Every structure is written in C-alpha cells, then in structure tokens.
C-alpha cells in the first residue's frame, strides 16, 4: 500500500485522536532498523514508546510466537495455561513480587493494581481507607480510572466526573506529600522516572521519605514500572536503583517486546486480598502473549541486555553532557539507562524530532522543549554515535 492511500483511509475512518501523525508507514523491521513503504531506512531510537525492547523481528521472539500460533493462540482462564504459569514464575524469580496477574495493556495493569490496593486496604483497615496519592505530571493510562490517577488536567477535564479517590502532589516535594496523607489514604502510586512528562527521575531522598511515610501510615507503595521495567533503565526494574521495594508494581510496554501484555505484580500478603471472582480478564495472560513474555526474558538473559542498557545508556548520557557543554541550546540531559530526556532552552523539540526523522533517525518529543530517546535494549555504542553526530549537526544550526 502507498503512504498516501493509508493516510487517506486513516483520515476518513480512524477516530482522530492522534491528529496529524508523522507521515511515515513502516513495512519491515530488523534489529535497530525499520524500512518504510518507500524503502527508506530508519534507525529506531524510540522502540514504539519503549516497547520493542529486543528490536524488530528478533529471531527468538518470532520463533516463540510462531510455535505458539501453530499450537493454539488462546484459551480461557477457566483452564490452566502452561506459558502463563511459567511467565508468572519468571517475573517472581527476577523481582520482589510473589504473585502476578496478567492484563492486556499498561492502563489495565494499573486498574488491577488500584483495585488490589483498595480491596487490600478495605479488608485490613475498613472502607474509609481508599484514597490513592499520585504525582502531578504523572501518567498512568487512558481508562477513566487511570486518567483519574494521572496528574494532568488535560487528560482529565474532557471526561469528568472522574473516578473519586485520587489526590495529586508535586514531584520530589516532601512537605506536600506529608500534608496530603490522611486517615483515608490507602496507597501512594509513583513512576520512578516520569516518562510521559519529560523523563524526570525521582530523587533518592524523596523515595526514602515516601517509604518512611508509607510505613508510618500503613500505606501501600505502588510503582508504575510500565515504562521503566523490563531492563529499560539498566536494571530489570527501576526500583532496584533506589533499593526500595514496592508492595505492588505494574509492567507492560517492554514485557511482550511488542506483543500486548501487562502485569500486576505484588507481595504475597497483598496479592492474597484478591479472592476467586474479585478480578479477571478474557485475554489477559493468554498463551500467545505469555510466549512473547517468556521469549523476552530469554533474550534479555542470553544477550545480557539489561547490562547493555546500563552501559550504553551511561555512555550516551556522558557524551550528551559533552554536547551540552558545546551547545547553548541544550538545557539539561537526564535519564536512567536507556530512558533518556534532552531538554532545550527553547521550543525546538518537535522541529528537531522531525528533522531527525527526515534523516532516518526515529526519536520522540515530549511537549515543545524535550526529546525522549528510548532505543531497543540491543542498541550499540556505534548506533548511538551515529545519532549523536546527527544531533550535533542539527543542533548547531540553532546556535
């Protein structure tokens, strides 16, 4: 299909929630690269928003999916599912969780986490303890309840009334958090690096304080690791950087390497609040999705990709600081592992992103001033050096 034909059909029949998309349609991908309908080659430094963790068309992932397709794709959760049990065990082995539930997306995993926090608190402390504190500029998903959890008015206002029971406090602000906690509070829900609002890592001091307050007030800690989990930040889960374990955490984006799957992961005592019938899903954790998740763990282990994310991410961030010292347009470079933000002093981010795309480099922009870079975990130093050269040449024009 030609690009203009795709655009015409999309404009006519798809709900216009994405506005004018970037005028590219991809046909093939392999490793770090994608090719569009005109045969043009691109380097992918965005991974479908931190999703394609092992790059495109990875042999091991594709083989696992094909093998499962040839056996059976789906069966109901009324039956035991071998791949589901194996993937849950794998997540438990690699994390602080004791039990896992699978959903189909990030938002849905967060819905599950919120339900679990509420039922746990209701059973243990009574019905008044239901409120969840989240951060302003957070992002937790697009369902009505996760929009209510998300601390951004632009996602909420069109859809009021929202799900009640959410309060938002400023990131890294200890006083505000302390004031927000009441006898109604049941949990604090956080992203350890805020992805959608510009790649802002939480400070260690703040998280230490959050943990202290949670202990003192019998609050659950929920970490939304949908973007930061599965090796993205150079550890399997971002909480490992901070040395603070959550009671509940959620996964999605990188977990299936592009196949839709989300997970609610929790400590035994919390997970046990769910009794048969309290939660469920038709598709969640189906054999094909779990085959993808298992293949991703296998690839991360065999190719040492979590280590790679740490090494290569640090390397890139160091080189970016050098760039920053040479170029006045860069205000700040920050990130953790392979989740990296570059903030400019002026509103050039969209222009820079578009020019990179023209040159065959896919990166993301957040708002008007910040770029988000989140390549597959297979990225090499050499790949990054090519991106740096392109960025350097482009940014020099704004000096």
Question: Which positions are annotated as active-site residues?
Answer: 139, 224, 253
Would you give the binding string for ligand PLP spanning residues 173-212, x where CB under 6 A is met? ------------------x---xx----------------
Residues 237-276 contacting ligand PLP, CB under 6 A? 252-253
Q: 3-class DSSP state for residue 290?
A: helix
- Asked if 206 and 150 touch (Cβ cutoff 8 Å), the reply is no
- Our finding on whether 141 is near ligand PLP (CB under 6 A) is yes
CA distance 110 to 13: 30
CA distance 198 to 203: 15
> Which of 207, 206, 194 lies closest to 243 in space, CA to CA?
207
- Our finding on whether 105 is near ligand PLP (CB under 6 A) is yes
Tokens of 114: 């919120």
Minimum distance, C-beta of residue 38 to ligand PLP, in the bound complex (Å):
29
The span of 201-209, 223-231, 274-282, 388-396 binding ligand PLP (CB under 6 A) equals 223-231
- Our finding on whether 84 is near ligand PLP (CB under 6 A) is no
- Our finding on whether 227 is near ligand PLP (CB under 6 A) is yes
Please give the full DSSP string across 119-169, using - where no structure is assigned.
HHHHHHH-TT--EEEEEBT----SSHHHHHHSB-HHHHGGGPSPPS-EEEE
- Our finding on whether 106 is near ligand PLP (CB under 6 A) is yes
- Among all residues, whose Cβ is closest to ligand PLP? 106
The span of 133-141, 231-239, 290-298, 379-387 binding ligand PLP (CB under 6 A) equals 133-141
Shorter beta-carbon distance to ligand PLP: residue 189 or 348: 189
- Our finding on whether 140 is near ligand PLP (CB under 6 A) is yes
First to last CA, the chain: 41
Q: What is the number of alpha carbons within 13 Å of residue 155 lying toward its C-beta?
A: 19
The footprint of ligand PLP (CB under 6 A) covers 105-107, 110, 139-141, 191, 195-196, 224, 226-227, 252-253
């Amino acid at each position: 299909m030609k690009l203009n034909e795709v655009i015409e059909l999309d404009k006519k029949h798809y709900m216009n929630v994405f506005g004018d998309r970037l005028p590219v349609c991809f046909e093939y991908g392999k490793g770090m690269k994608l090719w569009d309908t005109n045969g043009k080659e691109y380097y992918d430094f965005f991974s479908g928003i931190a999703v394609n963790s092992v790059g495109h068309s990875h042999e091991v992932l594709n083989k696992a999916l094909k093998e499962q397709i040839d056996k059976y794709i789906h069966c109901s959760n009324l039956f035991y599912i071998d791949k589901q049990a194996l993937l849950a065990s794998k997540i438990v082995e690699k994390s602080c969780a004791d039990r896992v539930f699978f959903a189909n997306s990030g938002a849905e995993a967060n819905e599950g986490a919120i339900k679990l926090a509420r039922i746990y608190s209701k059973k243990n402390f009574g019905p008044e303890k239901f409120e969840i504190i989240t951060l302003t500029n957070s992002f937790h998903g697009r369902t009505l309840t996760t929009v209510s959890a998300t601390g951004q008015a632009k996602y909420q206002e069109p859809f009021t009334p929202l799900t009640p029971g959410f309060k938002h406090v400023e990131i890294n602000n200890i006083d505000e958090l302390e004031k927000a906690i009441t006898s109604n509070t049941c949990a604090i829900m956080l992203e350890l690096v805020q992805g959608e609002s510009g790649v802002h890592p939480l400070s260690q001091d703040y998280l230490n304080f959050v943990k202290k307050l949670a202990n003192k007030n019998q609050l659950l800690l929920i970490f939304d690791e949908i973007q930061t989990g599965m090796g993205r930040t150079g550890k399997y889960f971002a909480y490992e950087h901070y040395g603070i374990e959550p009671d509940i955490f959620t996964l999605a984006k990188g977990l299936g390497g592009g196949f839709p799957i989300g997970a609610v992961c929790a400590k035994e005592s919390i997970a046990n609040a769910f009794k048969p019938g309290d939660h469920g899903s038709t598709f969640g954790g189906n054999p094909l999705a779990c085959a993808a998740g298992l293949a991703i763990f296998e690839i991360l282990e065999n190719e040492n990709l979590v280590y790679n994310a740490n090494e290569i991410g640090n390397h890139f961030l160091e080189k970016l600081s050098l760039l920053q010292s040479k170029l006045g347009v860069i205000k700040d470079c920050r990130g953790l592992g392979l989740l990296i933000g570059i903030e400019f002093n002026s509103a050039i981010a969209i222009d820079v992103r578009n020019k990179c795309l023209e040159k065959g480099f896919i990166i993301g922009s957040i708002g008007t001033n910040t770029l988000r870079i989140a390549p597959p975990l297979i990225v090499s130093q050499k790949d990054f050096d090519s991106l740096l050269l392109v960025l350097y040449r482009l940014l020099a024009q704004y000096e």
